[in-house]
């Protein structure tokens, strides 16, 4: 995420490539990737995924990141 020309956050994807990205009017960011998953990134706590889904996402990111550096 870039604000005033400065990167304030990097959104990591557990996929090989990002095919589409859209910034929504409410500030959320939606992405579509080669793994067939559409992901919504938000700062609004009332739209957060469940703890289980967030944990699964973190696990996927960790696995894909490790593979990239091996």
Which percentage of the chain shows pLDDT scores above 90?
56
Torsion of CA 48, 35, 60, 46, to 10 degrees: 0
* DSSP-based three-state secondary structure for 64: helix
Q: Given 3-state DSSP classes, what are the helix, strand and coil percentages for the chain, each rounded to the nearest 5? A: 30, 25, 40
pTM of the predicted model as reported, rounded to 2 decimal places = 0.73
Tokens representing residue 25 in the block:
């009017």
pLDDT exceeds 60 at position 39: yes
Task: Count the domains in the chain.
Answer: 1
Distances (CA, A) of 49 to 2, 27, 41, 43, 69: 23, 16, 10, 11, 28
- Residue 27 sits in which domain range? 2-69
- 16-32 mean pLDDT: 94
- What is residue 31's predicted lDDT score, i.e. its pLDDT? 96
């Amino acid at each position: 995420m870039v604000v005033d020309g400065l990167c304030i956050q990097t959104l990591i994807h557990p996929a090989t490539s990002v095919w589409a990205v859209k910034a929504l009017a409410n500030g959320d960011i939606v992405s579509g990737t080669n793994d067939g998953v559409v992901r919504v990134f938000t700062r609004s706590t009332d739209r957060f995924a469940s703890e289980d889904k967030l944990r699964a996402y973190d696990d996927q990111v960790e696995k894909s990141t490790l593979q990239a550096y091996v």
